[in-house]
Every structure is written in C-alpha cells, then in structure tokens.
Structure 1
C-alpha cells in the first residue's frame, strides 16, 4: 500500500508497513491537529494522563470507548476505537501502545489522532463527540493495478457501498464482506465508524469515504480511506478475522 500524494516513497512505505504489521513498531499515520500546546505542569497534562489510563485500562468487549476528564479550558475529550473483528486482548494491547507513544509523535499538542493497524486513539481539548471528522484523513493503496481497472472500480464501489449500508445499520457500526469476481477471485472489504456518531452520520461519513476511492485508489488492487470518524477498505486477499 502507498499513501496518496507520496508516490516517490512507495517502496519505502511498503517496507515500512510490512515491518509495522510484523512488530507493531509505528503507527500507520498520525496528525497533530491542534497546534496549541500544554506543559507538564498544566492541569491539562494531568487530565490527559487520567484520560489515557481510563481508555487503555478499561477496554469494553464492544471495542469502543469515549470519555472526558477535567473542567473548563483544561477539559480533555478522547476516544479509542478497535477494529471490529479483533479480540479484546489485542484491542487493549493496541490502545495501550497508542497512549504510551502519542507523546513521542505529537509532544505536548492539545489535539492528536493516531492510527495503528488494529485501532485508533484520539484526544482533543475541543469537544468532538457526535461530529464527523473530515479533516483528519489519509489514503492508502496497493501499487499494483487490476487487469481491468474500469470494471474493478465498479466492483469495489459495489462492495464498499454495500458494506456502508450494512455498517450503519449495525449496533457496532462495523461490517465486513466479500464479493466474488471472475475466475473465482474474491474481493474483501471492511467499513467501520466510531460509535460516537449517530447511525445516519455514520452512513454520511462512509458514503463520503466510498466516494473518494476512485480518486485515491483508481483501479488499484487494494485501497482504503481512513478518517477520524470512519474508514473503508478493500483487498484481493482476506484481511479480516472470521
């Protein structure tokens, strides 16, 4: 997979992502989306420590939690989302890692979002619960193209749109599925929203992500649109747990 707009670095990114998948060393991506800083002596720092402990130590079986700590200008809002097909043990491991390392990537920023292969973690001094996050977003894709890109795009949209409809109607806002292609090949997909969204906002977020697939991942054998509120992904190999 390669990040869009970073094509010259594709080979390096491929090696990096393989390593990350193997050892979980680094996040897939991160944004320091609020430039305002805090210091180690600020109440905000204490509240953030409390929040990260809360979100990483109390992983619910349903794979999602959001919370806030503090008051007024020192309030911290945060959420943790785990991919819907992984175990609670792997959920906790992923988020514990994220909460420990986020300061390495965005030291003393008051707004950070970080994605790993199995989870995302986000905190901010601005309340964001119930709002679609369209600002913090990245694309990834396979460098190889399908034999018939035009036909393949139709199939990826068909599967992704179907999973969008399935996910927003699910209590956990998560869906996986597959679509049979020619010559017994299958296309596998995933759609997921953070559960601070309403089902209708989840649908709106996912439909927006699906609409970006042709521009970011045109005819590619694998692609994903990953945002702060939802993500969609498709591959020609099974990447989700049954």
Structure 2
C-alpha cells in the first residue's frame, strides 16, 4: 500500500485524490492552479486545443515534447513526458487519456498538470520551458518499513545518486539501475527529467528530489518524489519494462 503527502496548501486536492482512488481512477495525482480561468470557446481554449493535439501527436515518437500556440494574453505552453522505458504506443495512449482527464478535473483552469505511471502532461499561460518546476510536487511511499532503516536509506541514496548522474548526463535525461542489498533482495531505482531543462538544471532538480526523500520515505520499502520537472523512484521490485 502507498501513501501520498502534500503541503497544507494542497490538502483539499488530496481529499479529491482519495475519492479518485475509490472510484478506481488511473492518475497518480494532479494539480489545478486555481489562479486564472479561461472561458469556454475562447481564444485561450482554442490555443489549448492546438497545444494538446500537437503534444499527443509529437511526443510519443521521442518520449518528450513541448508546444506553444497563440499570443499573449492567450498564449498556451504545454509539455508532455513519457517514462523512458514506455513504448510509443503506450505513450500516446497515456497522453490521449491524460488530456480530457486533466481538463475534466481542472475545468477552465489556465494552468494544470497531471501524472500517470507512464506519462506526465502539463500546460500553462506562463512560459515555463527550461525552468525547474518547484511549484508542483508530491510524494508517495510504501507503508511497510524495512528492518534496518539506516543501512537501507544509505543504499537507496547510493543507488539514486548513481542513476541521477546517469540521467542528467544522458540524452534522454532518464536512467534506471539496481543494487544488490543482500543475497535475497535487490533495490531498483529510476531518475528522469523533462528535456526542456539544461543538464545542470536536471542535476539540480534530481539532487533536490533525493534530498527530499528523508522527509517522506525514511526506512520505507518504496518511495517516489514526483515533480513537474523531474522525478525519482525506488522499489524492492522491478517496475520498468525490460
């Protein structure tokens, strides 16, 4: 079983998440900015439709993409990211589902973001390309504890530092790895950034995510720190496609 933690600002959204879980919805989580709204059939909505269509059509081939449409004050910026091991078919399917799902959960919101296991979809009225997203972040962790937290936490940090280094040095800003803990268990890790970032910003984002782990996942058998620009994950089982 996994738990999720948010800042007090997002507690209301958390209760919505609990309802979604009960209803069997697929997204890991979403945020609505609730700061600005657009009206139906407006120029902003027309530009949003163009951005979403572009992302759904172009992202699957490379696993990442950005798009923009329109002019200020109706310009829309969008980003799509799929997990590095996901096929183009599954990537497109995930993004295709994410678009209407996000808009139904954040109706007429001028900025929103949603995450699934396989993909992330984000749009905004603000040009966020190339910047680390520190606004939208959440944590998930396994409710089960390990028997030796100090040793386990050290191994988790060792593995995630390794995959983070591989990620920000790679073209896809994505890496996975594994580490033998003892004769019966392996630890698996993942690190990924959105490719609009520079390598230096990817490193900074991942380093910050790893430093956040003790606040959510101390001694837990699995955990994630998920943000708009990067995410890390570790488990005691393999969770990516071979």
Q: Give the TM-score taking structure 2 as reference length.
A: 0.91
| Alpha-carbon shift at residue 164 of structure 1 (Å) | 0.7
Structure 1 Cα separation of the partners of residues 32 and 21 of structure 2: 21
Tell me, yes or no, if structure 1 residue 98 matches structure 2 residue 98. Answer: yes
Structure 1 Cα separation of the partners of residues 74 and 5 of structure 2: 36
Q: Does the CA-based 8 Å contact 1:130-1:197 persist in structure 2?
A: yes
Change (3 A) 1:133 1:34: farther
| Alpha-carbon shift at residue 184 of structure 1 (Å) | 2.9
2:235 aligned residue = 235
| Alpha-carbon shift at residue 41 of structure 1 (Å) | 2.9
2:21 aligned residue = 16
Q: Does the CA-based 8 Å contact 2:60-2:91 persist in structure 1?
A: no
1:191 aligned residue = 191
Q: Does the CA-based 8 Å contact 1:33-1:136 persist in structure 2?
A: no
2:4 aligned residue = 3
How do 1:12-161 residues align onto structure 2 when only pairs under 5 Å count?
Answer: 16=21, 25-161=25-161
Structure 1 Cα separation of the partners of residues 53 and 5 of structure 2: 34
CA RMSD in angstroms, aligned pairs only = 1.8
Structure 2 Cα separation of the partners of residues 16 and 150 of structure 1: 32
Structure 1 Cα separation of the partners of residues 159 and 143 of structure 2: 20
Q: Does the CA-based 8 Å contact 2:193-2:230 persist in structure 1?
A: yes
Structure 2 Cα separation of the partners of residues 184 and 168 of structure 1: 31
Q: Does the CA-based 8 Å contact 2:60-2:92 persist in structure 1?
A: no
| Alpha-carbon shift at residue 130 of structure 1 (Å) | 0.3
Q: What SS does the corresponding residue of 1:182 show, helix, strand or coil? A: coil
Q: Which runs of 5+ in 1 are unaligned?
A: none
1:224 aligned residue = 224
Structure 1 Cα separation of the partners of residues 124 and 5 of structure 2: 26
Task: Please give the per-residue CA displacement for 1:67-112, whole angstroms capped at 9, x wherever unaligned.
Answer: 1001111000000000000100000000000112111110000000
| Alpha-carbon shift at residue 117 of structure 1 (Å) | 1.2
Structure 2 Cα separation of the partners of residues 55 and 136 of structure 1: 20
Structure 1 Cα separation of the partners of residues 187 and 143 of structure 2: 17
